[in-house]
Structure 1
């Protein structure tokens, strides 16, 4: 009797081939969901995966990280949060950019933003010295590739909020030497660099004069310019000043969230692509679907009314059971398919070469979509992309090749200035 290879076995064999050979060997869209997920897991573990934004350092600060691991130890599976070593390995994540997050409220206190940035960098470095078999710092694509070969999770650094530079242009080079490889120019409010998307003040109408100096200096030393969180005018101004490609480390498509300036309009996506940059898709519920906020508000209102009407508190076991059942039946969360919709839109608009992943894990609370609740679940997104006809080569571009291209271009430009 003849023995035939199952579709999943064929797909598994195809993964070992070159992308061109793979495409002629198997059509992933014909697999079952279960078979496709197995293929996705294999791709996730065989391919370098970069995530542009994970808020672990600030979570560790809030959670009380210590070398003695008394409170929060992400080398083992943790209760709560979206990131730890076991789940990272399960999901195939290799290089999460650690967000050195500076709350906008510190901007009014001289020296406070820089001090916090230094503290969070040191905290991240301690992870690598405390658990050197699990984590390592990474300051270049080459570092990530070397760590990947060793099976070690790379921890590149990005500063979220340029307020950490204070008012001193010399701090750009200072933070490059501290390991920062991108700086998000603004955050929740306008700062000395420029206007922020969440702030309606429009202090400068875009990038400030100091901000222009900052972008130029970032180009010179080799720090990627990150335009997540900036206003549209700041985005345009920064593109006109930057001599190297930019990134949006954790932004999504405004088409799906009309009026939400924090996301990128089609005009800005096209301008970013013309610049040669990369847009790294945010997974947060409010970033990927405008219906999420309305849905959660309705669920919250119902549960508050139910609690009052039945004279209950949030900690009553009966209320907790009812709430869990109600939320499950009236799920307000978007799904992994919605994240894929954003990727589809950017691909259709400008091409797959300008897309990356920027989850915002540990930074968007419990708003994450069904199927992408933590770092173990990247294969679910890969499986959905395979279902939609994406090739392995396209997925590799999204996972790391596109951001590596930008990063290397920024390095090359900086080298040319020396």
Structure 2
């Protein structure tokens, strides 16, 4: 019998050894995910609840966040995004919709007090994580995505703070009364509005984190400079990988956030971590703006309006969703750690906010161990992984809270 080459003869043993090593790595990642405090600063569950209710205390297969999968993934602190659109702002309904979304989150916590609790302070994490019966809760602080609900009334900041809002994204897909958007071509304020400067100061006074995701570079730069406490980017990847995509944060602005003591929270959405999809995303907002302008002219001229549903269908057909590996998210984290240091990087997934267009292996809240395993494989220590998973964000939130009232 001809002797097999040594490598071939050993292949079955090597395969078994590799499989065992992989299983051990997975188990180590799961253990760390369960033991560490994981904080995700951006989950869009509330808006979806208004569209079609689901009891997220039970398994909800059509969502990316629910209690069973959150606990399976080790998620402890899930910021619920109170999102309102530019269209709702223009229609004057943003405030009502924001309150309805908060009502929906409160309904979940009332229905499942053993599984959920509203989190209003980082000091309460340890106290609230474990329910009276010993079960582990998922804590739900609130983040407002788009300052539209405050309108031009500074007192609304206190109202929403009292309801649990602990960060506010100053704008979203279009300029509002506070700031310019990264997506909009027209720059209404060249950064922050005069009212927006008051908003930043009042957020500092109340202890609401200032979030510069979605805003223009000028608005972010001004907000960072004006704030007397650290600021965050709640769900922004690095523009280093997506040149020209202002929605992602530039290295210069990221350094400014870190210099102020803040943190950049990395999302998992393909639109943020894949260069071509990022370009398509910006092109989508440009195309929508052109479509709306054309439609307005047609209606003013007495012509029939264009079919918005057909426009969206045609766009989607011409721009199919791309598959993006988990590696793309890990590369973002690596870049942030090299650029800013490990104390200034965290996670803001955008689960339930990107129509399922997420990196492979990070499809829902049960998948955090996959990210942990990837970081372990890259040589990150468990202590540094704990910082990225949630320690950094909790530190920043604590500093913002401590600075309130100055």
- TM-score bin, normalised by smaller chain: 0.7 to 0.9
What SS does structure 2 have at the residue aligned with 1:94? strand
Q: Structure 2 vs 1, CA of residues 153 and 334 (structure 1 numbering), >3 Å: closer, same or farther? A: same
Matched residues in 2 for 1:149 and 1:131: separation? 13
Query: Do structure 1's residue 46 and structure 2's residue 46 form an aligned pair?
Result: no
Matched residues in 2 for 1:185 and 1:226: separation? 6
TM-score by structure 2 length?
0.83
Alignment match, 1:237: 222
Matched residues in 2 for 1:33 and 1:198: separation? 42
Matched residues in 1 for 2:22 and 2:211: separation? 36
Query: Do structure 1's residue 339 and structure 2's residue 324 form an aligned pair?
Result: no
Alignment match, 1:208: 193
* Offset from partner CA, 1:141-183 (integer Å, 9 cap, x none): 1222222234111000010000111110111111111110000
Alignment match, 1:169: 154
Task: List aligned pairs for 1:5-404, cutoff 5 A.
Answer: 32-63=21-52, 65=53, 72-110=54-92, 112-150=93-131, 151-292=136-277, 332-404=322-394
Q: Structure 2 vs 1, CA of residues 175 and 294 (structure 1 numbering), >3 Å: closer, same or farther? A: closer
Q: Structure 2 vs 1, CA of residues 163 and 295 (structure 1 numbering), >3 Å: closer, same or farther? A: closer
Matched residues in 2 for 1:122 and 1:167: separation? 23
Matched residues in 1 for 2:346 and 2:277: separation? 23
Alignment match, 1:311: none
Deviating runs (4+, > 4 A) in structure 1? 292-296
State whether residues 292 and 333 of structure 1, in contact with CA within 8 Å, keep that contact through their aligned partners in structure 2.
no
* Offset from partner CA, 1:300-334 (integer Å, 9 cap, x none): xxxxxxxxxxxxxxxxxxxxxxxxxxxxxx99311
Matched residues in 2 for 1:159 and 1:142: separation? 21
Structure 2: runs of 5 or more not aligned: 1-17, 282-319
State whether residues 242 and 278 of structure 2, in contact with CA within 8 Å, keep that contact through their aligned partners in structure 1.
no
TM-score by structure 1 length?
0.80
Cα RMSD of the aligned pairs, angstroms, is 1.9
State whether residues 335 and 369 of structure 1, in contact with CA within 8 Å, keep that contact through their aligned partners in structure 2.
yes
What SS does structure 2 have at the residue aligned with 1:158? strand
Structure 1: runs of 5 or more not aligned: 1-28, 66-71, 297-329
State whether residues 161 and 187 of structure 1, in contact with CA within 8 Å, keep that contact through their aligned partners in structure 2.
yes
